C-alpha cells in the first residue's frame, strides 16, 4: 500500500506528464490506484472486484476527459445553484438556538451494538 506522500508524488508526476496536453485528466488508473482509493473510501474490494473496477474507472475517466476540450480559465466554479435563484433562494438561516432532537433511546434502538448510552465498536487501539 502506498503512503500518502507516494500517492501525491505520483499524482504530481502524472500532472507533469500531462503538461503537453492541457490538464492531467488523461491519466490511466492502475490496480494500485484502485486499491488506494478503495482504502481512502473504506471499501474492502474482493480480489475479483478489482479488475472490473479498474476497467470501469478507466473507461469512465477516458470519457470525462472530454471536458479538457473546454477552456474554463476564469470561470467561477458552481458548487450549488441557490445563487441562481436570487432572492427566492434559501430562506434565512434559523436562529442559533437549541431545539429538541431525537431521544437517545429511540436512536440507540437502531444501533447494531450498543450499551444504550454509547455505540459499541471493536477496539480501536492495538496494544
Partner 1 sequence: MPSEAKAAETYVEKPRTLAELRADLISGRTKATDLASSYYERIEKKNPRLNVYLSLTKERALKQAERVDALAAKGDPLPALAGVPVGIKDVLVMQGAPATAGSKILQGYRPPYDATAVAKLDAAGAVLLGKLNCDEFAMGSSTENSAYGPVRNPVDTERVPGGSSGGSAAAVAANLAVATLGSDTGGSIRQPASFCGVVGVLPTYGRVSRYGLIAFASSLDRVGPFAANVRDAATLLGVIAGHDAKDATSSAAPVPDYAAESDKPLKEPGKAGLRLGVPAEYFAEGLDDEVRAAIEGGIAALKAAGCTVKPVSLPHTKYAIPTYYLVATAEASANLARFDGVRYGYRSAESETLSSLYRHSRDEGFGAEVKRRILLGTYALSAGYYDAYYLKAQQVRRLLAEEYLRAFAEVDAIVTPTSPMPAFKLGEKTGDPLAMYLADIYTVTASLAGICGVTVPCGTTQAGLPVGMQVLAAHLHEGTAFRVARAVESAHL
Site for partner 1 in 13-32 (CB under 8 A): 14-15, 23-25, 27, 29
Q: Min. distance of Cβ 118 from partner 1 in angstroms?
A: 10
Quick check: 77 binds partner 1 (CB under 8 A)? yes
Choosing from 20, 47, 48, 88, the residue that interacts with partner 1 (CB under 8 A) is 88
What the block records as the C-alpha cell of 46 is 474482493
DSSP letters for 33-69: HHHHHHHHTT----TTHHHHHHHHHHHHHHHHGGGGG
Distance CA(39)–CA(17), nearest Å, equals: 25
Quick check: 127 binds partner 1 (CB under 8 A)? no
Q: Min. distance of Cβ 114 from partner 1 in angstroms?
A: 9
Quick check: 6 binds partner 1 (CB under 8 A)? no
Q: Min. distance of Cβ 117 from partner 1 in angstroms?
A: 14
Choosing from 20, 47, 48, 79, the residue that interacts with partner 1 (CB under 8 A) is 79
> What does the angle CA 22 – CA 24 – CA 25 come to, to the nearest 5 degrees?
95
Report the candidate in 60, 66, 12, 16 with the shortest Cα–Cα distance to residue 34: 60
Amino acid at each position: 500500500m502506498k503512503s500518502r506522500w507516494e500517492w501525491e508524488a505520483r499524482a504530481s508526476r502524472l500532472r507533469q506528464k500531462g503538461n503537453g496536453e492541457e490538464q492531467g485528466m488523461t491519466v490511466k488508473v492502475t490496480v494500485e490506484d484502485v486499491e488506494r482509493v478503495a482504502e481512502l473510501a473504506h471499501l474492502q474490494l474482493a480480489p475479483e472486484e478489482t479488475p472490473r473496477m479498474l476497467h470501469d474507472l478507466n473507461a469512465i475517466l477516458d470519457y470525462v476527459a472530454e471536458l479538457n476540450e473546454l477552456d474554463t480559465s476564469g470561470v467561477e466554479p458552481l458548487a450549488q445553484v441557490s445563487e441562481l435563484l436570487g432572492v427566492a433562494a434559501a430562506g434565512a438561516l434559523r436562529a442559533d438556538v437549541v431545539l429538541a432532537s431525537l431521544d437517545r433511546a429511540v436512536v440507540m434502538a437502531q444501533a447494531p451494538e450498543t450499551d444504550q448510552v454509547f455505540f459499541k465498536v471493536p477496539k480501536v487501539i492495538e496494544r
